[in-house]
Chains A and B, each alone.
Chain A
Amino acid sequence: MIRGVIVMNDQGKPRLVKFYDYQTVEKQQELIRRIYGVLCNRAENVSNFIQADSICGPDTQLVYKTYATLYFVFIFDSSENELAMLDLMQVFVETLDKCFSNVCELDIVFNFNKVYTILDEIILGGQVLETSSAEVVKAVEEISKLEKASNTTMLVPKSISGWQSR
């Protein structure tokens, strides 16, 4: 099972935090801090896997990858495969890139709810739901269309420019 997904920048500021088992906010903060502490001490060109027993409890591992200024981190247990998780992370980033065309950290900051929607399309309850980024993009577009039609609170804002004009 995937225990959590964290996206943070290279200063340790969390940009997206999603835990699939209950963690108190304090615990979450502490986990993020400790994970950041480990990540920023990693050399370059090393493997993307870390045994996380000492951080997140027994039988946990994490896979991380840096994309420019962002760390993407997946926390999971032994029922998942490390390489597969790395690929899933790739799917996630790829999808973000498609949805935001040329994604940057600010996109994630300003459109965090859309990012969460995308993540929910890929991982559900700690299990892998979808591995095709095209499918995910389709589903997210569908959701935003529905929201537009029903005129409820926007879960998926269009983009920064839309936000600016308001």
Chain B
Amino acid sequence: MDRPPRDQHPNVPHHGARDIPKHKMKGYIICLLYVEMVGHDASFGYIHAVKMAHDDSLSLKRAGSLAVTLLLNEDHGLTLLTRLCDNDPGVMGATLCPLSDLITIDAKSYKDLVISFVSILKQVAERRLPKSYDYHQMPAPFIQIKLLKILALLGSGDKQASEQMYTVVGDIMRKCDSTSNIGNAVLYECICCVSSILPNPKLLEAAADSISKFLKSDSHNLKYMGIDALGRLIKMSPEIAEQHQLAVIDCLEDPDDTLKRKTFELLYKMTKSSNVEVIVDRMIDYMVNINDNHYKTEIASRCVELAEQFAPSNQWFIQTMNKVFEHAGDLVNIKVAHNLMRLIAEGFGEDDENADSQLRSSAVESYLRIIGEPKLPSAFLQVICWVLGEYGTADGKYSASYITGKLCDVAESHSSDDTVKAYAVAALMKIYAFEIAAGRKVDMLPECQSLIEELSASHSTDLQQRAYELQAVISLDAHAIGSVMPLDASCEDIEIDKSLSFLNSFVQQSFEKGAQPYIPENERSGVLDVSSLKSQDHHEVSVHSLRFEAYELPKPVVPSRAPPVSLSPSTDLVPVPEPSYPKEVRQTASVSSFSEAGPSELKLRLDGVQKKWGKPTYSSPAPSTSSSSSQKTVNGVTQSDSMGNPNSKTRNTSYDSRRSQVEISPEKQKLAASLFGGALKPEKRPSSTGHKVSKTSINSGAKAHMEKGVISDSEISTEKTTPLQPPPDLLDLGEPSVTNMAPFVDPFKQLEGLLDPSQDASALDYGGSKSPDFMSLYADMPTSGQTSTVANPLSNNLESFGSANGGSTVVYPTQTNKGPNLRDALEKDALVRQMGVTPSTQNPNLFRDLLG
């Protein structure tokens, strides 16, 4: 809040406010009301009103409350502050809920509360709350959790705020009782907080220790928390994952689905170019076996993302995408399919034609292998058809008749999917066009012929159009086709002559024959002459029989339809085989949207008109740079396998020490090695064939890549070192007394700090002398010993119950008076029988066998 300069409001006190007598303060507050009423901003004084509302004297309290009601609007942060400082910890705890919501929305405006939160957390952790807030000997764990979550939000990316938190978070981590559930919950929150605020080496170390404890635990719950925490911490210190590689792999192979998913999340976060193959393969294996579409979609899109980002080779990328499409093709975004097509068309290599064509042939080969499989998803079939049409015959390995036969099979076996059929027909057209352009004779396969015939009578106008186009194109001569359908030109930009200048001579001819000049649409209204209207009317009547949405078209368009009028309606359906038109269609084939393929006769006719005179409906597919940029990283990265080597020694040692303790299956070792660096046993590392091929394939560009690899290597190494640089360490976990000063600040003092930061010192002074720490009220309150003594043995028992985690075989000795309650149970049983209610199991008394 911006505060006006002091001298503007001479009436209002600014100096610390502590030396002002209360009755005078009351006067000032009233002045404040007037200042606000006149329209000035008096927000600097709000805090005094808030303070006065807490006064013991009734008249002052009244004035304060009045001022607060008038000055603060409902959502002002200070209203919450007044509650945050409430004497009742319950109210304080409840205030945390809305505050945390507010901070989640906008952390910036609450930075000044960090000190308050830290001091509250410190007091809670030091057991200065009444005993009744304890749970399993943890002081108010739910409040601690909430506060830690808030601090994590406030401290992220904020050095000053983070530094204020280090001590208290460190203290709590040390104190946490890691044998109870709730203790671990708080510990986990601490790790989350540490990983969210600016890193502190000591805290990171402590967090890493806790994580290893979690992961070593037998409880699946704790393992889950450990994996989750590891995923959070890995951004800060990537090397921590290596210590836990085997634990992670165990979790990956665990039958527990929740744990598995969490582990995949972790793997997703730690994917590098060196382990992408193993991780993505694992993900796909898992994806194949699950039924949950929601999660399948998620994991499929993650696979795609990782593959695009880190693919070590083109072949591997294509194979991976094939697998993803095969198993989750209906779930992934159709854009992914389009990206894949574009990638194959544009190629990976910078200017390496050889590599590109190799990529394409490998794609064609893999698709021909897959194409026969039943139940391929539509998106995948679209990609297959497009690639086969574009590059199926490009390398001369497969004959045109073979490819076209396959395409016909696709169209036939997916007769219900118009989109796939459209792609197949477009591909057929391309193959035939390439054949004719190359001067070869085309013999259309009989099944292909029948397919075309069938489609030219299809209900889908789009398919119809494509079928007729195909017939029209293959009847052209080689030269014409060569210019209509140039080979491998899908990436070329198409120049569109918007003025349609090539039609000029045609127009001129028509004029000479006495045709009316074209009147632009905006000049046309009002100049309708009766004769054309009449003929138009006549025409519309003939069409109306099929038109259901009447009067949809505005009248002014009418004269532009003069030429179609002369044609019979049936010819309207057939696209005029003008040389310019198929060219357009051929390009639109891959991008055209099929939504407008409704069987409305009128619409179709308009289409033809639009193509000639309307705005161009088609815009060339903008060659996007996204895939090529990702490509660059890919190539930079292909060379980087060797990068892992420098670190191999340390890994080897840490790994060996572990190995001596436990016997580990070689399979797991291999997996660990490939996941966590791969330098462990380089000769055993599973290297995919695709990988090898890639190395040879990019031979020619290898030098450039090498350089890149080196650059990225150094970049990565700097990246690696930066988080390790110790930020100024204010925290000394060993000596809490040194840093105790700051966190002891009373929230009230902080409030005064809000008033004027320059007077912090005096405010501190004031708070220290006058208002006692609010928590201390409870410190010497007589504890109701009853509750605590009851709670303690109970909690111990409960812990054992919780950790056993069994459910049915657990002994549950909470209640000592429980033993001989057989009679009770029998009574209940008898009642049940009497009522005619049959219990769902043989044991209606469900806790009896549990409780012993």
A101 close to B821 (CB less than 8 A):
yes
B805 within 8 A of A: yes
Interface pick from B3-11, B184-192, B334-342, B404-412:
B184-192
B307 within 8 A of A: no
CB neighbors of B among A120-138 (8 A) = 127-128, 131-132, 134-135
A86 close to B850 (CB less than 8 A):
no
A54 close to B255 (CB less than 8 A):
no
Give which listed residue, A43, A102, A105, contacts B256 with CB less than 8 A. Answer: A43
A147 within 8 A of B: no
With contacts A45-B806, A81-B189, A104-B845 taken as known, whether A134 is within 8 angstroms of B840 at the C-beta atoms is no
With contacts A67-B847, A81-B188, A84-B141 taken as known, whether A101 is within 8 angstroms of B824 at the C-beta atoms is yes
Residue numbers in B under 8 Å from A46 (CB-CB): 220, 254-259
With contacts A44-B807, A46-B259 taken as known, whether A87 is within 8 angstroms of B181 at the C-beta atoms is yes
Give which listed residue, B258, B259, B791, B840, contacts A132 with CB less than 8 A. Answer: B791
Give which listed residue, A43, A44, A49, contacts B221 with CB less than 8 A. Answer: A49
Distance A43 CA – B840 CA, assembled complex (angstroms): 21
B132 close to A132 (CB less than 8 A):
yes
Distance A47 CA – B104 CA, assembled complex (angstroms): 29
Residue numbers in A under 8 Å from B136 (CB-CB): 87
CB neighbors of B among A14-73 (8 A) = 42-51, 53-54, 65-70
B790 close to A47 (CB less than 8 A):
no
Total A-B residue pairs with C-beta atoms closer than 8 Å? 159
Distance A13 CA – B97 CA, assembled complex (angstroms): 33
A79 close to B798 (CB less than 8 A):
no
Residue numbers in B under 8 Å from A9 (CB-CB): 840
A87 close to B814 (CB less than 8 A):
no
A146 within 8 A of B: no
A106 close to B807 (CB less than 8 A):
no
With contacts A94-B798, A134-B791 taken as known, whether A69 is within 8 angstroms of B841 at the C-beta atoms is yes
CB neighbors of A among B100-146 (8 A) = 100, 104, 132, 135-136, 141-142, 145
The minimal Cβ–Cβ distance linking B255 to chain A, given in whole angstroms, is 5
Distance A90 CA – B794 CA, assembled complex (angstroms): 12
Interface string of B28-42 (1 = CB under 8 A from A): 000000000000000
A87 close to B185 (CB less than 8 A):
yes
Give which listed residue, B94, B100, B261, B845, contacts A79 with CB less than 8 A. Answer: B100
B848 within 8 A of A: yes
Tell me the dominant secondary structure on chain A's binding face: mixed
Residue numbers in A under 8 Å from B805 (CB-CB): 45, 48
B604 within 8 A of A: no
B807 close to A134 (CB less than 8 A):
no
Residue numbers in A under 8 Å from B839 (CB-CB): 105-106
With contacts A102-B847, A104-B845 taken as known, whether A84 is within 8 angstroms of B142 at the C-beta atoms is yes
A44, A54, A87, A105 interface centre (most CB from chain B within 10 Å) = A87
B221 close to A86 (CB less than 8 A):
yes
The minimal Cβ–Cβ distance linking B181 to chain A, given in whole angstroms, is 5
Give which listed residue, B104, B256, B802, contacts A86 with CB less than 8 A. Answer: B802
A153 within 8 A of B: no
Residue numbers in A under 8 Å from B149 (CB-CB): 79
A161 within 8 A of B: yes
Residue numbers in B under 8 Å from A11 (CB-CB): 840
B824 close to A131 (CB less than 8 A):
no
Give which listed residue, A98, A127, A161, contacts B94 with CB less than 8 A. Answer: A127
Residue numbers in B under 8 Å from A43 (CB-CB): 255-256
With contacts A131-B142, A132-B791, A134-B790 taken as known, whether A104 is within 8 angstroms of B181 at the C-beta atoms is no
B145 close to A106 (CB less than 8 A):
no
Residue numbers in B under 8 Å from A102 (CB-CB): 818, 821, 824-825, 845, 847-848, 851
The minimal Cβ–Cβ distance linking A147 to chain B, given in whole angstroms, is 24
The minimal Cβ–Cβ distance linking A127 to chain B, given in whole angstroms, is 5
The minimal Cβ–Cβ distance linking B48 to chain A, given in whole angstroms, is 32
Residue numbers in A under 8 Å from B430 (CB-CB): none
Closest to B101 in A: A79
Residue numbers in A under 8 Å from B661 (CB-CB): none
Give which listed residue, A65, A87, A135, A164, contacts B807 with CB less than 8 A. Answer: A65
Q: A46-B259, A135-B787 are in contact. List 12 more A-B contacts (CB 8 A).
A: A48-B220, A53-B294, A67-B807, A67-B850, A79-B149, A87-B802, A90-B181, A90-B801, A106-B828, A132-B132, A132-B791, A134-B790
Residues of B bordering A, CB below 8 Å: 94, 97, 100, 104, 132, 135-136, 141-142, 145, 149, 181-182, 184-185, 188-189, 219-221, 223-225, 254-259, 261-262, 292-295, 787, 790-791, 798, 801-802, 805-808, 814-815, 818, 821, 824-825, 827-828, 831-832, 837, 839-841, 843-851
29 A-B contact pairs sorted by A residue (CB < 8 Å): A11-B840, A45-B806, A46-B256, A46-B258, A48-B220, A53-B294, A54-B294, A67-B807, A67-B850, A68-B841, A68-B846, A68-B847, A68-B849, A69-B846, A70-B846, A81-B189, A82-B221, A83-B181, A83-B185, A84-B145, A84-B185, A97-B815, A97-B847, A102-B818, A102-B845, A102-B847, A106-B844, A134-B790, A160-B831
